[in-house]
């Protein structure tokens, strides 16, 4: 696990600039550094040593004749198998690294190499003879890749903050991204909060030559349910496939640990991974916000050591600038801070951890997936539901009314992912300038078109796999772990696991049959049964436990004087007035404090943007 930076070279001090860019991401790889420059390209690398920890694994790495050079961030779990094929084809290796497998593999197979890989990756290869740059990002977007074209310079790397060190970088706020963020709570498109800086989307590769950028998708999720196997067969297949994935994800020359919350995902990983150490964080003593007691008991039952930390409110609020600095773009997910602290305590004992991200998206785990066809009302004619929904939409919003409004819309009209903060009308009223961000449905519709004709659960899963998971879940997983020089691996997000999950019928992903004990788990149904089968009997009840996932008591804190006043002063600051109408912001805050409405997530979305803006535009990309 590492960090990469680079740029096309048109400057006289390339060595100094690439070193400065590398320094910006030192946290991603404190063990070693390396660079390569010529008259056309500059490449930099920071290394966190996991495989072949000797200096022979340092990057950049070259092919046999030195005509190609690579910098790579990630892990390829099947690199030994690919290496054998390459040796048979005549390639000569100087190291035992997966990095060298990538460069020889690209020599041999070109972009077809990508379909052979099993792992998480973001890498670039410079072909000196062709004067061509090739780069790729993994299937799910576990590892990041950003790029920007400023004048004649192409910049690229693992984190945007590295670009700040380049003399050609022009820092400007992208207000379109702000509009999107206010609705989604993250940046949902390839655009970022920095104008002219983009993400290479998951499962895409690029070629850059003669000033021209060509980008193509090389893989996509393909749901194709198979009704032939029965439930027991699917459970066995999930068990076998996931065991294989966990085994592959444990490949390392250093110790591997595991995160542990009270949900089935992380518990399933910890139970079968046979790691020695698990890590948990929580808040206070209220079981709604603290899973430490449960995690310690679970760890004891599987004979593992659990390390935990109770995060104080002062620690949480005091870390916000640091968190948003490492995030590169504002992310209003309160659990990002909890993830930072659990990464922090893990990094004190080891370099690699396993985590449960991706299970909900792949196996159908979010509660919202149980909404379609979940009530008698869903079985009524669509025309009737739309008419009732239209009438309900004219009434004041409240819980019962909102039910009919939601049920009166098709999934494409109402679902944009697991967070829907401000509607287009609400963000228009909130912003002081015209919002040119597209309607949320314009952003989501291209994904819905790809699964046209499929059931609503599959449509929602497909959207979340491409947007929510990459834009929120995996963004914070990478940035918070790397902020602590820790490698985070996600065995659910494995190509073989996904190939299996694509075939599982919807009724085994989400079921509404509550007739027996075995069918009461309505989400991730088949996966829960696999976890129950594989989990020791003393802890099998984890398959039934409602997941909390390091929950954060934001709604409680915002009612306390200390934190209410911190947010209010931020909402009344000069920065806030540049972007927002203060009156509706204060109203949101006061209504929440008085108990009129739970506005905590909306308040947090705006507040976190202002924290991020302070770091990158008022403090010039430095947290205090």
Instruction: Write out the catalytic residue numbers.
Output: 2
From first CA to last CA, the distance across the chain in angstroms is 27
CA distances from 214 to 204, 207, 217 (A): 10, 5, 11
Beta bridge partners of 256: 352
Q: Let me know: does 411 contact 459? Beta carbons within 8 Å.
A: yes
Q: Give the HSE-up count for residue 179: Cα atoms under 13 Å, Cβ half-sphere.
A: 19
- Count the Cβ atoms, other than its own, within 10 Å of residue 191: 17
**In contact, 181 and 191? CB cutoff 8 Å:** no
Beta bridge partners of 208: 133, 213
| 49, 99 Cβ separation under 8 angstroms | no
Closest C-alpha among 495, 512, 488 to residue 28: 488
CB 494 within 8 A of CB 206: no
Closest among 250, 524, 245, 489 to 355, alpha carbons compared:
489
- In angstroms, what CA-CA distances link 387 with 96, 210, 371, 375? 65, 56, 19, 18
Residue 129 vs residues 134, 207, 349: alpha-carbon distances, Å: 13, 14, 45
Q: What CA–CA distances, in Å, run from 242 to 246, 271, 466, 510, 544?
A: 6, 12, 22, 19, 19
- Please report which helix (H) or strand (E) contains residue 3, including its range: strand 2-8
The alpha carbon of 145 is separated from its chain's Cα centroid by a whole number of angstroms, namely 13
3 state SS of 76: strand
Q: Identify the helix (H) or strand (E) that includes residue 146.
A: strand 146-150
Of how many residues is the chain composed? 624
């Amino acid at each position: 696990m590492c960090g990469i930076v680079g740029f096309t070279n048109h400057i006289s001090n390339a060595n100094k600039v690439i070193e400065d860019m590398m320094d910006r991401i030192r946290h991603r790889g404190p063990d070693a550094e390396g660079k390569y420059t010529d008259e056309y390209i500059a490449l930099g690398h920071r290394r966190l040593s996991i495989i072949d920890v000797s200096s022979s694994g340092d990057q950049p790495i070259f092919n046999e004749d030195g005509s190609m050079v690579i910098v790579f961030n990630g892990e390829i779990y099947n690199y030994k198998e690919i290496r054998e094929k390459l040796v048979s084809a005549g390639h000569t290796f100087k190291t035992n690294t997966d990095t060298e497998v990538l460069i020889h593999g690209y020599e041999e197979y070109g972009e077809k190499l990508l379909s052979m890989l099993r792992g998480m990756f973001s890498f670039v290869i410079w072909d000196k003879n062709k004067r061509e740059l090739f780069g790729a990002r993994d299937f799910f977007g576990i590892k990041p890749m950003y790029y920007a074209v400023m004048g004649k310079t192409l910049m690229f790397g693992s984190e945007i903050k590295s670009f700040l060190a380049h003399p050609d970088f022009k820092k400007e706020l992208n207000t379109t991204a702000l509009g999107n963020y206010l609705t989604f709570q993250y940046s949902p498109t390839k655009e970022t909060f920095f104008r002219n800086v983009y993400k290479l989307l998951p499962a895409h590769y690029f070629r850059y030559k003669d000033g021209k950028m060509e980008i193509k998708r090389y893989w996509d999720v393909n749901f194709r349910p198979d009704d032939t196997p029965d439930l027991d067969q699917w459970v066995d297949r999930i068990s076998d496939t996931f065991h294989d994935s966990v085994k592959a994800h444990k490949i390392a020359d250093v110790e591997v640990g595991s995160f542990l919350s009270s949900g089935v995902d992380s518990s399933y990983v910890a139970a079968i991974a046979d790691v020695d150490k698990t890590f948990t964080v929580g808040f206070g003593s209220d079981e709604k916000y603290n899973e430490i007691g449960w995690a310690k008991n679970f760890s004891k039952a599987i004979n593992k050591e659990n390390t935990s930390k109770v995060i104080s409110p002062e620690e949480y609020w005091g870390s916000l600038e640091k968190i948003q600095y490492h995030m590169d773009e504002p992310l209003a997910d309160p659990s990002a801070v909890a993830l930072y602290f659990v990464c922090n305590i893990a990094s004190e004992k080891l370099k690699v951890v396993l985590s449960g991200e991706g299970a909900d998206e792949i196996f159908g785990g979010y509660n919202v997936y149980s909404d379609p066809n979940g009530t008698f009302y869903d079985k009524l004619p669509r025309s009737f539901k739309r008419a009732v929904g239209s009438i309900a939409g004219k009434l004041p919003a409240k819980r019962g009314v909102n039910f009919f409004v939601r049920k009166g819309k098709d999934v494409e009209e109402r679902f944009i992912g697991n967070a829907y903060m401000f509607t287009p009308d609400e963000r228009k009223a909130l912003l002081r300038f015209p919002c040119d961000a597209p309607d949320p449905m314009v952003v989501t519709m291209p994904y819905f078109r790809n699964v046209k004709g499929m059931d609503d659960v599959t449509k929602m899963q497909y959207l979340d796999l491409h947007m929510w998971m990459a834009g929120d879940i995996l963004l914070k997983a990478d940035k918070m772990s790397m902020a602590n020089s820790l490698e985070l691996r996600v065995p659910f997000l494995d190509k073989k696991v996904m190939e299996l999950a694509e075939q599982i019928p919807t009724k085994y992903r989400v079921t509404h049959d509550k007739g027996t004990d075995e069918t009461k788990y309505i989400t991730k149904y088949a996966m829960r049964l696999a976890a129950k089968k594989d989990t020791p009997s003393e802890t099998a009840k984890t398959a039934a436990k409602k997941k909390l996932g390091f929950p954060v008591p934001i709604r409680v804190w915002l009612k306390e004087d200390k934190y209410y006043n911190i947010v209010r002063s931020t909402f009344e600051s000069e920065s806030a007035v540049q972007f927002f109408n203060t009156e509706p912001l204060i109203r949101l805050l006061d209504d929440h404090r008085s108990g009129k409405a739970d506005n905590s997530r909306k308040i947090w979305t705006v507040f976190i943007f202002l924290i991020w803006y302070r770091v990158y535009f008022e403090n010039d990309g430095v947290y205090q």
